[in-house]
Chain A
Amino acid sequence: MPTTHTPPSTVHATRTVEFKVWRGDSQGGEFKSYSVEVTDGMVVLDCIHRIQADQANDLAVRWNCKAGKCGSCSAEINGNPKLMCMTRMDTLPQGEPVRVEPMRSFPSIRDLVTDVSWNFRAKKKIKPFKPRKPDNADGSWTMYQIDVDRVQEFRKCIECFLCQDVCHVLRDHHKHDEFIGPRLLMYTAMLEMNPLDTESRVADLKHHDGIGYCNIGKCCTKVCPEHIGITDNAIIPMKERVVDEFYDPLTRLFRMFKPR
């Protein structure tokens, strides 16, 4: 039986959406309202660009790839830390204003742009990768897939810092001097679990990186645009290694008698 094929409609429905965008700098600011004509398939970053083009040429917004891979356009949309380029307008409540503001855990530079340089300074304090001697004569190492998979998950991180933004230890308690945050705990886990690595960062995790401040709220995991199991696969395993080293009397006892 012949079938008829209907080509996809080229007519897109449009609607007007009110945006409340935070405008200001490190000295202060306020929310300003903008109306945007939204068509099917638009994301929040498209709307911000439309506002920038038509209504507020001086609106500062950091962006780059528009594909959820560069981690530049992090912001808080209706109070939820998200990438603007990956937040489709049809996923937001209809008929309500859309509130867009910069990340709360970092100092404001201007409008939606924040100063995230603290993350890079904190990252430099983590002991770098220190590989063992090469396994093979050609200077290469042999590594099996299951070991690759475990650390490879953490390499998906795009450093959008949404996990740092949502973490209440940084956001509400401002423990930036004592706690490196989920992104960097995960970075440490990536190095620490690598079978080629010979360095130990467990003592640093306890004493300098403040892993004990994490109380496993899993907000970091929930906001991660790469869906990395930050809490279950990185932070908790690191907490357990800290327990091995410092809190478990039996493990410490066994270690005393372990042949070296």
Chain B
Amino acid sequence: MSMSQTRYSLPQTRAFLETARTDRWWIAPLFVLAGFGAFLIYSTWAAFQANNYFIGGPSQPGVQDLLSPFYSPVLWDASGVHSGHAWFGDAPLWWPAWLLFSPALIILPFPAGFRFTCYYYRGAYYKAFWADPASCTVGEPKFRGANYRGEQKFPLIFQNLHRYFLYIAIAFIGLLSWDAYQSFWHFNADGTRSLGVSVGTIVLVLNPVFLGMYTFGCHCLRHLVGGKHDCLSCSSVRQHKYKAVSWLNARHMLFAWISLFFVGFTDIYVRLCASGTWTDWRIL
């Protein structure tokens, strides 16, 4: 911005994206926009594929059982697919005929809701997606002005339900850990199962580890395990839980990005193996 020589009064409201900053403030929100945007587009595309979400099973002897985290848990299999992971069998009859049934469409709203209401993500995407503000001391769109509602009023007041998504997210860590355990197994030609380790096993083990590092560093969890009490010293268990969650919480942004990238990569890995583009190499 050029130096203004005209007289004006303070405090002054800046125009949209107007700032006196001279650094490259736009890099961070642009990076967030690109990162989240890419993930949103890919995950939506992957969710609607309704195929290539697993490898292994009796029909693929010697291949480790891998299931994409986007489709786990498989409540109902997609039409014409028999993954062996489905809890309730084939596609539900009540699903509207005009909408393609994909198991991921039932699953993904929950982790998506957890991330959408996450305190770190909120701060990041408010900046990157609707410039509220685009960056510190950078002007906002004029229409918002005095009409600004923040999270005080509808609709963003619903961000306060973050803890309910946390409860579900913790359950997902358990489910994905089970998938990681399953990835150590493969079927033999005679129908028996044997232990083994492939590159995919490592990928499926790392996925819940990273997701756990992110989930267990949640601000809500930090509150629930001890932060809500004024007296941390009153219980040594509370102290230890609070310290552990606080350690992860201080790295919440880091694990938010690592886990986001890795859960996407895990789906890509399984998808490319299932489509025959990649081979899941056995190590043991």
Q: Is the CB of A216 within 8 A of B20?
A: no
Q: Is the CB of B3 within 8 A of A107?
A: no
Bound Cα distance A194, B230 (Å): 6
Bound Cα distance A236, B222 (Å): 10
Q: Is the CB of B233 within 8 A of A210?
A: no
CB-CB < 8 A to B161: which residues of A?
A: 247
Given A78-B20, A79-B21, A214-B150, does the pair A243, B163 have CB atoms closer than 8 Å? yes
Q: Does B223 contact A (CB under 8 A)?
A: yes
Q: Is the CB of B122 within 8 A of A215?
A: yes
Q: Is the CB of A216 within 8 A of B122?
A: yes
Q: Does A128 contact B (CB under 8 A)?
A: no
Q: Is the CB of B123 within 8 A of A217?
A: yes
CB-CB < 8 A to A172: which residues of B?
A: 13-14, 133, 139-140, 144-145, 148
CB-CB < 8 A to A24: which residues of B?
A: 7, 10
Q: Does A87 contact B (CB under 8 A)?
A: no
Bound Cα distance A223, B21 (Å): 14
Bound Cα distance A131, B116 (Å): 39
CB-CB < 8 A to A26: which residues of B?
A: 9-10
Q: Is the CB of B5 within 8 A of A30?
A: yes
CB-CB < 8 A to B82: which residues of A?
A: none
User: Which residues of B in the span 12-29 have a Cβ within 8 Å of any Cβ on A?
Assistant: 12-14, 19-23
Interface string of A38-82 (1 = CB under 8 A from B): 000000000000000000000000000000000000001011110
Bound Cα distance A171, B20 (Å): 14
CB-CB < 8 A to A248: which residues of B?
A: 160, 163
Q: Does A135 contact B (CB under 8 A)?
A: no
Candidate in B20, B144, B228 with the most chain A CB atoms within 10 angstroms: B20
Q: Does A123 contact B (CB under 8 A)?
A: no
Bound Cα distance A27, B21 (Å): 24
Of A6-14, A97-105, A252-260, the stretch lying at the interface with chain B is: A97-105
Bound Cα distance A83, B222 (Å): 32
CB-CB < 8 A to B155: which residues of A?
A: none
CB-CB < 8 A to B153: which residues of A?
A: 212
Q: Is the CB of A171 within 8 A of B137?
A: yes
Candidate in B10, B21, B145 with the most chain A CB atoms within 10 angstroms: B10
Q: Is the CB of A168 within 8 A of B228?
A: no
Q: Does B93 contact A (CB under 8 A)?
A: no
Beta-carbon nearest neighbor of A237 in chain B: B227
User: Which residues of A in the span 2-30 have a Cβ within 8 Å of any Cβ on B?
Assistant: 20, 24, 26-30
Instruction: List 15 extra interface pairs beyond A146-B233, A213-B152, CB under 8 A.
Output: A30-B5, A79-B19, A79-B21, A79-B22, A80-B21, A80-B136, A144-B233, A150-B232, A168-B133, A210-B150, A213-B151, A215-B150, A216-B122, A223-B136, A236-B119
For the complex of A and B, 5 pairs with smallest distance between CB atoms = A212-B152, A79-B20, A144-B233, A79-B21, A219-B136
Selected A-B contacts with CB under 8 Å, 12 pairs: A26-B9, A31-B4, A76-B137, A81-B137, A106-B11, A107-B10, A108-B11, A150-B232, A168-B136, A242-B160, A243-B163, A247-B160
